[in-house]
Amino acid sequence: MRQSILPKAFTIFLALIVVISGLSILPAEAAASSSVVYRFDFGNQGVESGYVGVSAMDQYDSSIGYGFNTPEHMKNVTASGSGVQSDAVQFVTFGNKSTNTFNVDLPNGLYEIGVTLGDTERSTVVAEGVYQIINLTGNGAQDKVQFPITDGQLNLLVTEGLVGANYTLSALEITKLSDLPATKRTIFIGGDSTVSSYYPLDTTFQAGWGQMLQQFLDPETFYVKNLASGGQFARGFRNDGQLEAILKYIKPGDYFIYQFGINDTAAKNETTASQFKDITRDIIRQIKATGATIILSTPQGRSGDFNASNVHTNPNRWYNTQVRQLANEESVPLVDLNVLSSAYFTTIGAEATNQLYMYTINDTLHINRDGATQLARIFAEDLVRQGLDGFAETTWNGNQIVKAGEELDVFFGLSGVNESVAVYAQDISVHYNPNDVELVSANAQKDGFIIADKVLTEGKARFITVYTGKSPRLSGNLLKLTFKAKSDAAENTVITLNSVVQSNGQGIESRLSGAALHVQIEESTGNPNPLPGDVNNDGRLSIGDLALVASAYGKTSADTDWALYKKYDLVQDNIIDISDLVFMARSILDSTSQ
């Protein structure tokens, strides 16, 4: 939300400023490769090395490209930390629509913004007119957030998380991630105190499962943005700006995880079951309209929800019934975390379950760091189980014992793919030790699954595949790779599914996990001197061998898939032609006459 005009010559001028002043700003050409653009140290108690000092009185100046929009509503304050955390600036006026912002001119692109607060009880970071980080708690709290700059300027302020607190900022670090002003695939989270983030993020005893979810996801595929906050309920989330912050950025391929109900049932929030259902339905439809996918979730129960049979269960409290009804009525995914977590708690027992909650203060509702980690794990595993786009798992299996000189089949496939997920293209990379095995052939295993092209180099194979089948669901074994163990191979070898990238019909890419197949190669007990020309390894020369050679007619060593056909080059002249066919035919006749 740009609040000044960026001069056309700003980029050139900025470069001159860097040279003259020695500020810690990296050159523009480095910006697209995750480079630090700015480090700001706020306050008037000195400037740390490597930072640009900014006082509360520094008004935005287009000639330097940063400053406060309304410095008359800012003031310098001390802070209880050290280094950049020894002082700060305080935002005297605030609010998510306030113009009392710190402005920085930036080329359009995707940025990561790292904030360090001063002394504060609970504060929220706003940028580009919407909430970015909700309720940072404690002095010197730190966090990072990613969002695009689309108008040439960052506008940021710190506003209330707790009414009556001081809203302060000690330091700001701005890193450019990409020249493209768009986020990667993002999982947004909305919820209450059982989901929200707690600070310091890496050490706090209490935690919400939303802050732990990223560790169970591939960071190359998804970025998690947690906008959950303590005490929040569905109506407040929709009406008070948090949903707005999601709708500003969410796009096709993104997910929004929605978990409410606990605070909605509190009398002070005056939300009946029917009202909760209506509000949630409205949010579902607003998210659907963006082309993104909403995932409903039910909150875990209390630690003491064990019955007389030592089974943890209380599935229908907190409007959970209405959430399940909505998932069915609106045809959206549901992670029934209440039921899933209860099943886990039952397996570990009441005492161990209690240790996952805030037992030190006899809090039976809120989870601690270990509990949040377990709930995040359970949630992520259910996303995989449901096979939602970006969460499907690869399968990689085959013979694990083979004799030297014999072939083994390895199968690549997908499991847990949701019926609604359409996969149309894949980029599959396989690595193996060429001293132990050779790749003999590659064959599609499903109607409509086509190997569009491949590149074979020593020890590596890359396959570009497309799917043109009638059913959108692509699952099960898809590709069979046949390897042959070499006579002088090591006793053990590994064939690795190195990487898989796939895309749906909207061109949205997902990176899937790889896998490794460990193979034991035993000494051959067969004929140590196989027949020349016995290309199908059946111990005899026949038209079956001739047909295989004929099927490879015209292949040369210049072809990218030569490794698959080299064994048919019987006269070893780097081309499969009439000479090889004549050799094979003569060998068949000679063996028959003998």
Sign, Cα dihedral of 68, 74, 75, 81: negative
**Contact call for residues 75 and 43 (beta carbons, < 8 A):** no
**Short-list 83, 62, 73, CA closest to 17:** 62
Instruction: For tokens 């709708």, name the residue.
Output: 247
- Is 73 catalytic? The answer is no
- Is 193 catalytic? The answer is yes
State the pairing for strand pair 407-415/363-367. unpaired
Q: Kindly name the residue from 119, 305, 366, 569 that is annotated as catalytic.
A: 366
**Contact call for residues 418 and 387 (beta carbons, < 8 A):** yes
**Short-list 125, 144, 126, CA closest to 202:** 144
**328 SS3 class:** helix
The number of angstroms, rounded, from the C-alpha of 7 to the middle of its chain's C-alpha atoms is 37
**Contact call for residues 554 and 576 (beta carbons, < 8 A):** yes
Q: How far is CA 398 from CA 29, 410, 500, 517, 524, in A?
A: 47, 4, 18, 8, 19
**In what helix (H) or strand (E) does residue 159 lie, and over which residues does it extend?**
strand 153-160
DSSP per-residue string spanning 556-577: BTTSTTHHHHGGG-TT-SSB-S
User: Both tokens of residue 283?
Assistant: 């949010």
Q: Kindly name the residue from 193, 342, 510, 587 that is annotated as catalytic.
A: 193
Q: Kindly name the residue from 363, 370, 409, 559 that is annotated as catalytic.
A: 363
Cα–Cα distance, 148 to 109 (Å, whole number): 6
User: Both tokens of residue 73?
Assistant: 């509503």
Alpha helix stretches (DSSP H) within 392-551: 543-551
β-sheet bridge partners, residue 223:
186
**161 SS3 class:** coil
Task: Tell me the catalytic residues.
Answer: 193, 363, 366
